[in-house]
Structure 1
Amino acid sequence: MKLGSLKEGGRDGSLIVVSRDLTRAVRAKGIASTLQAALDDWSSSAPRLNALYAELNDGKAADAFELDMTALAAPLPRAYEFVDGSAYLPHVERVRRARGAEVPESFYTDPLMYQATSAGFLGPRDPVMVASEDYGIDLEAEVIVVTDDVPMAATPAQAAAHIQLIGLVNDVSLRGLIPGELAKGFGFLQSKPRSALSPVLVTPDELGDAWQGEKLHLPMRTWINEQWFGEAECGVDMQFDFGQLVAHAAKTRPLTAGTVVGSGTIANEDTSKGASCLAEQRTVETLRDGKPSTPFLAFGDRVKIDVTDRTGKSIFGSIEQTIARAS
């Protein structure tokens, strides 16, 4: 099934069930008012939401309405936790090389992860607000999963069973601020503003054989100002699957229902497939030409991120954002 949230009812939005073709929706009245409420009682709410999803797709749902993407908040407007991994080693290697840093051997056996911003996710059509272009504005196209309650010290196999929803994120980065923050030895803060989620999150069964081995096996498509930028394969060169990423996050603490876990920027060894962030593209150019030629994002630039099925139909809906100056 596919779930989203309308920009109504307060900070956490109003939960809706969305049709498979992303054209129709119905409010989840009487089941759960918000997606967080549904996740808090997932074993009870999921079957009822799935039944409503079947009715919607069969054209039998009462009070169904036409879906307006601009009316959508993030499916999970705010989450208790967002922990973002960096599971694609080609991305780790290139970006670290760009700032003259080596990749520690532990990165190949133990996932890299940080605590990201979760107090408010942008909706799929909301602008990315930044105070200055000098910050080095970058997109990062990633896959995310959302869990129910995960017990502490869960194994990867056990953790995988707690993955309930899958979606996309534009994990915005301010590249000009990252080196100074990392030099302090305490991780990201100012360099990571709010991220945007895809219009809907979907259950694993919705993906069919595109979800195998706790990985999404489809290309991540990105455009900047309507120009193709990349289509890296999500299922290729992913060093750690989502079962391993969730288990890593839960090693010393339980995870609360509604925890968002990110894959990190999708990247392949094969650079002909383009990139999923500008920092990586600039690194490829530097290694090839001695200097980068692709600029970071500027005010007015437009970003689009999408994943389509084998027939070319959008699965999660596209993230489409404009970069805007914050007053």
Structure 2
Amino acid sequence: MKLGSLKSKESLDGVLCVVSRDLKTAVKVPQIAANLREAMEKWSENQAALEKVYSDLNEGKAAGSFAVNEQDFHSALPRTWLFADGSAFIYHIKLVRMARKAPLPETLTTVPLMYQGECGQFLAPTEEIPQRDVAHGTDFEGEVGIITDFVPMGVTPDQALKHIKLFVLINDVSLRGLIPEELAGGFGFFQSKPASALSPFAVTADELGEAYKEGRVHLPLNVDYNGKFFGKANAGAMHFHFGQLIAHAAKTRNLAAGTVIGSGTVSNDDHSTGSSCLAEVRMIETIETGEIKTPFMKAGDTVEMKMFNEKGENVFGRIFQKVKAVQ
């Protein structure tokens, strides 16, 4: 099943829509839930009704269906209660720590890294990324994310996997120029992690087929930068699976329904797969040539993220964002 949130002047949460498998048609379903956030809060009650509409839509029998224009859709979940972003790709951690001359954590392979990001407002997947100062070092980070139902405190990693209800793509916008000083204060990310964007469509695990296994999505994340190939790193290379990330987040608290958990930047040891963020490319350039050649994003630069299944079908729609200078 695929779900989306149609932009609305009446609600910041948008209007919940069921979207066809081929992403060509959709239908509003306010009779089931007003928006995706509310649908997640009563997922067990809403799931069957949503699946029935999805089946009808794919068979061309859903009343009120309309042609999909991705510009009309917000992030799949426009806002929610919690966005906890992990860092489950060890190679990415090694590169970015090297870039800022920071030591690797002693628990690198045993305890997930995680921070709490902006969740009260996700940028739309085609919305411009605001840049107040080019010195802030605007970067994109391509990730896979999951959306949970209610998760009880103290859940085990295996139990946590059962609470994954939907998958999304994430562009975790980062301001690299602000990170070192902010982390040096000892209190974590804040100014360096502004609003991120989700893919326009969220999907259930069955839409991923055999690519979803062991708590990981084993598909490449396709990233283009300024219209050119940038990366196709496989998301299945996560060291920590999503159940482990959820359990880490729920160690000392319940997680509200609609919680978004990010995988962290998709990264592979094999440089031929490219990268999912500029910081990695800059560090690889330093290692290989002793010189950084790639600047961070400036006004007018664009990034595009998509994921295709084994049949070559677009699973989540696309994130396509341009940087815009703002005052």
Bin for the TM-score computed over the shorter chain: over 0.9
Q: Which residue of 2 aligns with 1:151?
A: 152
Whole-Å separation in 1 of the counterparts to 2:80 and 2:133: 27
Q: Which residue of 2 aligns with 1:170?
A: 171
Q: Which residue of 2 aligns with 1:210?
A: 211
Corresponding letter in the other structure for 1:313: E
Q: Which residue of 2 aligns with 1:5?
A: 5
Shift of 1:261: 0.2
Q: Which residue of 1 aligns with 2:250?
A: 250
- Any idea what the Cα deviations from partners look like across 1:54-102, whole Å, max 9, x if unmatched? 0000000000000111111111111100000000000000110111111
Does 2:261 match 1:266? Answer: no
Corresponding letter in the other structure for 1:259: T
Runs of 4+ in 1 over 4 A off after TM superposition: none
- Any idea what the Cα deviations from partners look like across 1:160-212, whole Å, max 9, x if unmatched? 00000001000000000000100001001111110010010001111110100
Whole-Å separation in 1 of the counterparts to 2:270 and 2:218: 16
Q: Which residue of 2 aligns with 1:293?
A: 293
Does 2:86 match 1:85? Answer: yes
Q: Which residue of 2 aligns with 1:303?
A: 303
Corresponding letter in the other structure for 2:20: S
Matches within 5 A, 1:222-261: 222-236=223-237, 238-261=238-261
- Any idea what the Cα deviations from partners look like across 1:265-297, whole Å, max 9, x if unmatched? 000111111100000110000011001111111
Q: Which residue of 1 aligns with 2:60?
A: 59
TM-score, structure 1 length as denominator? 0.99
Cα RMSD, aligned residues only? 0.7
Whole-Å separation in 2 of the counterparts to 1:2 and 1:210: 16
Corresponding letter in the other structure for 2:318: S
Whole-Å separation in 1 of the counterparts to 2:288 and 2:180: 23
Q: Which residue of 1 aligns with 2:284?
A: 284
Matches within 5 A, 1:46-125: 46-125=47-126
TM-score, structure 2 length as denominator? 0.99
Whole-Å separation in 1 of the counterparts to 2:142 and 2:306: 9
Q: Which residue of 2 aligns with 1:322?
A: 322
Corresponding letter in the other structure for 1:97: M
Whole-Å separation in 2 of the counterparts to 1:133 and 1:305: 22
Maintained 8 Å contact 2:221/2:266: yes
Shift of 1:220: 0.6
Q: Percent identity?
A: 50
Count of residues in correspondence between the two structures:
326
Shift of 1:311: 2.4
Shift of 1:11: 0.8
Corresponding letter in the other structure for 1:223: D
Q: Which residue of 2 aligns with 1:15?
A: 16
Shift of 1:310: 1.5
Whole-Å separation in 2 of the counterparts to 1:261 and 1:275: 21
Whole-Å separation in 2 of the counterparts to 1:76 and 1:29: 15
Whole-Å separation in 2 of the counterparts to 1:75 and 1:290: 41
Corresponding letter in the other structure for 1:248: H
Secondary structure in 2 aligned to 1:150? Answer: coil
Secondary structure in 1 aligned to 2:230? Answer: strand
- Any idea what the Cα deviations from partners look like across 1:230-249, whole Å, max 9, x if unmatched? 0001102x110000000000
Corresponding letter in the other structure for 1:30: Q
Corresponding letter in the other structure for 1:65: F
Whole-Å separation in 2 of the counterparts to 1:13 and 1:145: 19
Whole-Å separation in 2 of the counterparts to 1:99 and 1:302: 25
Maintained 8 Å contact 2:15/2:30: no
Corresponding letter in the other structure for 2:4: G
Corresponding letter in the other structure for 2:138: I
Secondary structure in 2 aligned to 1:312? Answer: coil
Shift of 1:29: 2.5
Maintained 8 Å contact 2:172/2:196: yes
Q: Which residue of 1 aligns with 2:27?
A: 26
Unpaired segments ≥5 residues, structure 1: none
Unpaired segments ≥5 residues, structure 2: none
Corresponding letter in the other structure for 2:50: L
Whole-Å separation in 1 of the counterparts to 2:255 and 2:326: 33
Whole-Å separation in 2 of the counterparts to 1:163 and 1:145: 6
Does 2:312 match 1:312? Answer: yes
Whole-Å separation in 2 of the counterparts to 1:188 and 1:104: 17
